[in-house]
Amino acid sequence: MDLPTIWNINDKSDRLSVDSDGLGVKYTGPLENHAAIIRTNHPIPPQCRMFYFEVDIVDEGKYEIIGIGFCTNKIILDSRMPGWDDESWGYHSDDGKFYNCNGYGDLYGPLFKTGDTIGCCLNFRNNTVFYTKNGMNLGIAFQDSKNIFQNLKGTLYPCIGMKSGSLKGNFGHKNFKYTAMTDDDIDEIIKEKWIEAINLYNDDLINDFIKSFKNNQNIINILTHQGKFYFIIGKYDQALESLTNLLKLEPNNTFALKYRGEIYYITEKYEESLADLNKLMEIDANNKWLLIAYNEIIKKQLSFIIFKIKII
Protein backbone atom coordinates (compact mmCIF):
# COMPACT_ATOMS: atom_id res chain seq x y z
CA MET A 1 0.00 0.00 0.00
CA ASP A 2 1.68 3.19 -1.23
CA LEU A 3 0.84 6.11 1.04
CA PRO A 4 1.57 9.80 0.37
CA THR A 5 5.02 10.46 1.85
CA ILE A 6 6.51 13.49 0.06
CA TRP A 7 5.56 16.24 -2.39
CA ASN A 8 5.84 15.25 -6.04
CA ILE A 9 8.44 17.32 -7.90
CA ASN A 10 6.83 16.20 -11.18
CA ASP A 11 3.31 17.18 -10.19
CA LYS A 12 3.50 20.85 -9.29
CA SER A 13 3.25 24.37 -10.64
CA ASP A 14 6.44 25.74 -12.17
CA ARG A 15 6.19 28.57 -9.64
CA LEU A 16 7.13 26.19 -6.83
CA SER A 17 10.42 24.55 -5.86
CA VAL A 18 10.82 21.47 -3.66
CA ASP A 19 13.60 20.81 -1.14
CA SER A 20 15.83 17.76 -1.55
CA ASP A 21 13.95 15.93 1.24
CA GLY A 22 10.70 16.24 -0.72
CA LEU A 23 8.95 17.92 2.21
CA GLY A 24 9.80 21.62 1.93
CA VAL A 25 8.06 23.73 -0.73
CA LYS A 26 8.88 27.33 -1.64
CA TYR A 27 7.14 29.83 -3.91
CA THR A 28 9.69 31.05 -6.45
CA GLY A 29 7.61 32.91 -9.04
CA PRO A 30 8.47 34.36 -11.49
CA LEU A 31 5.06 36.06 -11.27
CA GLU A 32 4.01 37.34 -7.84
CA ASN A 33 0.57 36.82 -6.33
CA HIS A 34 -0.30 33.99 -8.72
CA ALA A 35 -1.54 30.83 -7.01
CA ALA A 36 0.38 27.58 -7.39
CA ILE A 37 -0.45 24.02 -6.27
CA ILE A 38 1.58 20.87 -5.60
CA ARG A 39 0.33 17.33 -4.97
CA THR A 40 1.91 14.39 -3.14
CA ASN A 41 3.77 11.48 -4.72
CA HIS A 42 0.83 9.11 -4.22
CA PRO A 43 -2.93 9.45 -3.78
CA ILE A 44 -4.49 8.17 -0.57
CA PRO A 45 -5.00 4.43 -1.33
CA PRO A 46 -8.56 3.04 -1.31
CA GLN A 47 -7.67 0.61 1.51
CA CYS A 48 -6.88 3.54 3.79
CA ARG A 49 -10.02 4.59 5.64
CA MET A 50 -8.43 7.57 7.37
CA PHE A 51 -5.45 9.74 6.44
CA TYR A 52 -3.88 12.63 8.34
CA PHE A 53 -1.01 14.95 7.46
CA GLU A 54 0.34 18.27 8.72
CA VAL A 55 1.90 21.35 7.16
CA ASP A 56 4.25 23.73 8.97
CA ILE A 57 3.89 27.34 7.83
CA VAL A 58 7.58 28.23 7.62
CA ASP A 59 6.93 31.62 6.02
CA GLU A 60 3.53 32.91 4.89
CA GLY A 61 5.27 35.30 2.51
CA LYS A 62 4.27 38.70 1.19
CA TYR A 63 0.72 37.82 0.16
CA GLU A 64 -0.15 35.62 3.18
CA ILE A 65 -2.42 33.29 1.21
CA ILE A 66 -2.05 29.53 1.75
CA GLY A 67 -4.48 26.67 1.11
CA ILE A 68 -4.20 23.16 2.55
CA GLY A 69 -6.37 20.27 1.44
CA PHE A 70 -6.73 17.56 -1.18
CA CYS A 71 -7.72 17.12 -4.81
CA THR A 72 -7.67 14.73 -7.75
CA ASN A 73 -5.10 14.88 -10.55
CA LYS A 74 -7.59 16.67 -12.79
CA ILE A 75 -7.00 20.01 -11.05
CA ILE A 76 -5.01 22.71 -12.83
CA LEU A 77 -1.89 23.52 -10.82
CA ASP A 78 -1.36 27.13 -11.93
CA SER A 79 -3.42 30.16 -10.88
CA ARG A 80 -5.73 28.04 -8.73
CA MET A 81 -6.01 27.33 -4.99
CA PRO A 82 -7.19 24.15 -3.24
CA GLY A 83 -10.98 24.11 -3.12
CA TRP A 84 -11.70 26.47 -5.99
CA ASP A 85 -12.51 23.78 -8.58
CA ASP A 86 -14.47 20.55 -8.86
CA GLU A 87 -12.76 17.62 -7.09
CA SER A 88 -10.75 20.03 -4.95
CA TRP A 89 -11.10 21.04 -1.26
CA GLY A 90 -9.07 23.36 0.95
CA TYR A 91 -8.81 25.44 4.14
CA HIS A 92 -7.35 28.91 3.52
CA SER A 93 -5.11 31.01 5.74
CA ASP A 94 -6.26 34.49 4.77
CA ASP A 95 -10.00 34.18 5.50
CA GLY A 96 -10.39 31.00 7.59
CA LYS A 97 -12.81 29.56 5.02
CA PHE A 98 -13.15 25.98 3.84
CA TYR A 99 -13.58 25.81 0.07
CA ASN A 100 -15.65 22.94 -1.26
CA CYS A 101 -15.27 22.83 -5.05
CA ASN A 102 -16.13 26.52 -5.49
CA GLY A 103 -14.61 29.98 -5.21
CA TYR A 104 -16.83 31.21 -2.38
CA GLY A 105 -16.04 29.09 0.64
CA ASP A 106 -17.73 28.77 4.04
CA LEU A 107 -16.47 30.26 7.29
CA TYR A 108 -14.74 27.47 9.19
CA GLY A 109 -11.76 28.17 11.42
CA PRO A 110 -9.19 30.72 12.56
CA LEU A 111 -6.70 32.38 10.25
CA PHE A 112 -3.19 30.89 10.23
CA LYS A 113 0.23 32.34 9.61
CA THR A 114 4.01 31.89 9.93
CA GLY A 115 4.84 29.54 12.81
CA ASP A 116 1.51 27.70 12.80
CA THR A 117 1.05 24.00 12.02
CA ILE A 118 -2.13 22.96 10.21
CA GLY A 119 -3.28 19.35 10.07
CA CYS A 120 -5.82 17.83 7.69
CA CYS A 121 -7.67 14.55 8.21
CA LEU A 122 -9.85 12.70 5.70
CA ASN A 123 -12.12 10.13 7.31
CA PHE A 124 -13.52 7.93 4.54
CA ARG A 125 -15.52 5.89 7.04
CA ASN A 126 -17.95 8.68 7.89
CA ASN A 127 -17.06 10.93 4.92
CA THR A 128 -15.84 13.86 6.99
CA VAL A 129 -12.89 16.23 6.95
CA PHE A 130 -11.43 18.01 9.94
CA TYR A 131 -8.43 20.26 10.45
CA THR A 132 -6.16 21.02 13.37
CA LYS A 133 -4.19 24.12 14.28
CA ASN A 134 -1.11 23.77 16.49
CA GLY A 135 -2.40 20.49 17.90
CA MET A 136 -5.99 21.66 18.45
CA ASN A 137 -8.87 19.97 16.63
CA LEU A 138 -10.94 22.65 14.84
CA GLY A 139 -13.96 20.43 14.31
CA ILE A 140 -15.65 19.08 11.18
CA ALA A 141 -14.98 21.24 8.12
CA PHE A 142 -17.02 19.20 5.68
CA GLN A 143 -19.54 16.36 5.78
CA ASP A 144 -19.78 14.60 2.43
CA SER A 145 -23.48 13.75 2.29
CA LYS A 146 -23.34 12.90 -1.44
CA ASN A 147 -20.68 10.17 -1.11
CA ILE A 148 -18.32 12.06 -3.41
CA PHE A 149 -15.29 10.77 -1.50
CA GLN A 150 -16.40 7.16 -1.93
CA ASN A 151 -16.60 7.64 -5.69
CA LEU A 152 -13.13 9.24 -5.72
CA LYS A 153 -11.40 6.72 -3.44
CA GLY A 154 -7.85 6.07 -4.59
CA THR A 155 -7.67 9.32 -6.57
CA LEU A 156 -7.42 11.99 -3.84
CA TYR A 157 -4.03 13.58 -3.21
CA PRO A 158 -3.04 15.79 -0.27
CA CYS A 159 -2.15 19.17 -1.75
CA ILE A 160 -1.09 22.70 -0.83
CA GLY A 161 -1.54 25.97 -2.68
CA MET A 162 0.18 29.30 -2.11
CA LYS A 163 0.82 32.73 -3.56
CA SER A 164 4.08 33.34 -1.66
CA GLY A 165 6.20 31.93 1.16
CA SER A 166 7.37 28.45 2.11
CA LEU A 167 5.83 25.38 3.76
CA LYS A 168 6.98 22.00 5.07
CA GLY A 169 4.92 18.82 5.01
CA ASN A 170 4.78 16.06 7.60
CA PHE A 171 3.35 12.73 6.47
CA GLY A 172 4.34 10.86 9.61
CA HIS A 173 8.15 10.96 9.36
CA LYS A 174 8.09 12.79 12.72
CA ASN A 175 5.55 13.12 15.52
CA PHE A 176 2.49 15.17 14.69
CA LYS A 177 1.62 18.28 16.66
CA TYR A 178 -1.85 16.80 16.97
CA THR A 179 -1.03 14.15 19.55
CA ALA A 180 -4.31 12.27 19.08
CA MET A 181 -2.85 10.93 15.83
CA THR A 182 0.23 9.50 17.55
CA ASP A 183 0.42 6.18 19.39
CA ASP A 184 2.83 7.30 22.13
CA ASP A 185 0.18 6.87 24.84
CA ILE A 186 -0.96 3.44 23.63
CA ASP A 187 0.07 0.29 25.50
CA GLU A 188 2.74 -1.71 23.66
CA ILE A 189 0.60 -4.85 23.99
CA ILE A 190 -2.13 -3.50 21.70
CA LYS A 191 -0.12 -0.94 19.68
CA GLU A 192 0.14 -3.10 16.55
CA LYS A 193 -3.63 -3.71 16.52
CA TRP A 194 -4.20 -0.01 17.21
CA ILE A 195 -2.18 1.11 14.19
CA GLU A 196 -3.83 -1.47 11.92
CA ALA A 197 -7.33 -0.55 13.08
CA ILE A 198 -6.76 3.18 12.61
CA ASN A 199 -5.07 2.88 9.20
CA LEU A 200 -7.33 0.31 7.56
CA TYR A 201 -10.39 1.05 9.66
CA ASN A 202 -12.81 -1.68 8.61
CA ASP A 203 -15.61 -3.21 10.69
CA ASP A 204 -13.82 -6.50 11.42
CA LEU A 205 -10.68 -4.77 12.66
CA ILE A 206 -12.68 -2.34 14.77
CA ASN A 207 -14.68 -5.16 16.38
CA ASP A 208 -11.51 -7.15 17.08
CA PHE A 209 -9.87 -4.08 18.54
CA ILE A 210 -12.84 -3.31 20.82
CA LYS A 211 -12.82 -6.93 21.98
CA SER A 212 -9.15 -6.60 22.90
CA PHE A 213 -10.17 -3.88 25.37
CA LYS A 214 -12.55 -6.24 27.10
CA ASN A 215 -9.81 -8.81 27.59
CA ASN A 216 -7.95 -6.20 29.65
CA GLN A 217 -8.99 -6.41 33.29
CA ASN A 218 -7.83 -2.85 34.03
CA ILE A 219 -10.93 -0.67 33.66
CA ILE A 220 -8.79 2.49 33.49
CA ASN A 221 -6.91 1.15 30.46
CA ILE A 222 -10.14 0.04 28.81
CA LEU A 223 -11.79 3.44 29.14
CA THR A 224 -8.60 5.29 28.14
CA HIS A 225 -8.08 3.38 24.90
CA GLN A 226 -11.78 3.29 24.05
CA GLY A 227 -12.02 7.04 24.58
CA LYS A 228 -9.10 7.85 22.32
CA PHE A 229 -10.09 5.33 19.65
CA TYR A 230 -13.64 6.63 19.36
CA PHE A 231 -12.33 10.20 19.41
CA ILE A 232 -10.02 9.63 16.44
CA ILE A 233 -12.61 7.90 14.27
CA GLY A 234 -15.13 10.66 14.96
CA LYS A 235 -17.58 8.77 17.19
CA TYR A 236 -17.75 11.59 19.69
CA ASP A 237 -20.77 10.34 21.68
CA GLN A 238 -19.07 7.03 22.44
CA ALA A 239 -15.79 8.79 23.21
CA LEU A 240 -17.56 11.19 25.56
CA GLU A 241 -19.19 8.29 27.39
CA SER A 242 -15.86 6.48 27.90
CA LEU A 243 -14.00 9.61 29.00
CA THR A 244 -16.77 10.70 31.38
CA ASN A 245 -16.79 7.25 33.00
CA LEU A 246 -13.01 7.46 33.31
CA LEU A 247 -13.30 10.82 35.09
CA LYS A 248 -15.81 9.33 37.52
CA LEU A 249 -13.09 6.90 38.56
CA GLU A 250 -10.20 9.38 38.34
CA PRO A 251 -11.50 13.00 38.51
CA ASN A 252 -8.00 14.43 37.87
CA ASN A 253 -7.14 12.20 34.91
CA THR A 254 -5.37 14.65 32.56
CA PHE A 255 -5.82 12.40 29.52
CA ALA A 256 -9.60 12.31 29.95
CA LEU A 257 -9.87 16.03 30.73
CA LYS A 258 -7.91 16.94 27.58
CA TYR A 259 -9.87 14.76 25.16
CA ARG A 260 -13.27 15.46 26.72
CA GLY A 261 -12.52 19.19 26.67
CA GLU A 262 -11.63 18.89 22.99
CA ILE A 263 -14.85 17.01 22.20
CA TYR A 264 -16.90 19.69 23.92
CA TYR A 265 -15.07 22.30 21.83
CA ILE A 266 -15.71 20.41 18.58
CA THR A 267 -19.42 20.05 19.43
CA GLU A 268 -19.65 23.77 20.38
CA LYS A 269 -20.23 23.17 24.09
CA TYR A 270 -17.77 25.89 25.02
CA GLU A 271 -18.67 26.29 28.71
CA GLU A 272 -18.19 22.57 29.34
CA SER A 273 -14.93 22.66 27.37
CA LEU A 274 -13.59 25.56 29.42
CA ALA A 275 -14.59 23.80 32.64
CA ASP A 276 -12.44 20.78 31.72
CA LEU A 277 -9.55 22.97 30.59
CA ASN A 278 -9.73 25.07 33.77
CA LYS A 279 -9.41 21.92 35.81
CA LEU A 280 -6.57 20.74 33.60
CA MET A 281 -4.84 24.09 34.09
CA GLU A 282 -4.95 23.61 37.87
CA ILE A 283 -3.12 20.31 37.42
CA ASP A 284 -0.67 21.26 34.65
CA ALA A 285 -0.51 25.04 34.23
CA ASN A 286 2.59 24.95 31.98
CA ASN A 287 1.11 22.66 29.33
CA LYS A 288 1.75 24.40 25.96
CA TRP A 289 -1.15 22.68 24.21
CA LEU A 290 -3.47 23.78 27.00
CA LEU A 291 -2.58 27.46 26.58
CA ILE A 292 -3.17 27.27 22.81
CA ALA A 293 -6.46 25.41 23.24
CA TYR A 294 -7.68 27.81 25.94
CA ASN A 295 -7.12 30.84 23.69
CA GLU A 296 -8.85 29.19 20.72
CA ILE A 297 -11.89 28.24 22.81
CA ILE A 298 -12.24 31.74 24.26
CA LYS A 299 -12.14 33.22 20.73
CA LYS A 300 -14.66 30.68 19.46
CA GLN A 301 -16.97 31.25 22.42
CA LEU A 302 -16.95 35.02 21.88
CA SER A 303 -17.69 34.57 18.16
CA PHE A 304 -20.53 32.19 19.02
CA ILE A 305 -22.05 34.66 21.50
CA ILE A 306 -21.80 37.55 19.02
CA PHE A 307 -23.43 35.42 16.31
CA LYS A 308 -26.35 34.55 18.62
CA ILE A 309 -26.82 38.20 19.57
CA LYS A 310 -26.99 39.19 15.89
CA ILE A 311 -29.65 36.56 15.25
CA ILE A 312 -31.73 37.86 18.16
* CB hemisphere CA count around 295 (13 angstroms): 9
> How many other CB atoms sit within 10 Å of the CB of residue 33?
12
Closest CA to 117 of 168, 159, 184, 166: 168
In this prediction, residue 214 carries a pLDDT of: 58
What the chain holds in terms of domains, given with CATH numbers, is 7-179 (2.60.120.920), 182-311 (1.25.40.10)
Question: Long-range contact list for 282-290, CB < 8 A, 24+ apart?
Answer: 283/252, 283/254, 283/257, 284/254, 289/134, 289/135, 289/136, 289/179, 289/258, 290/258
> How far is the C-alpha of 300 from the C-alpha of 270, rounded, in Å?
8
pTM of the model: 0.84
Per-residue pLDDT of the chain in tens (312 residues, 90 and over written 9): 789 999 999 999 999 999 999 999 999 987 777 899 999 999 999 888 889 999 999 999 888 899 999 999 998 898 889 999 999 999 999 999 999 999 899 999 889 999 999 999 998 888 889 999 999 888 889 988 888 887 887 899 999 999 999 999 999 999 899 988 876 666 555 555 555 555 555 555 555 656 665 555 578 888 888 888 888 878 889 999 999 999 999 999 999 999 999 999 888 888 899 999 999 989 987 877 787 787 777 777 665 554 445 445
Give the pairing of strands 50-59 and 97-100: unpaired
**254-266 and 236-249 are packed helices; what angle lies between their axes, rounded to 10 degrees?**
150
User: Beta partners for 98?
Assistant: 91, 106
Q: Please, are residues 119 and 175 in contact by the beta-carbon 8 Å criterion?
A: no
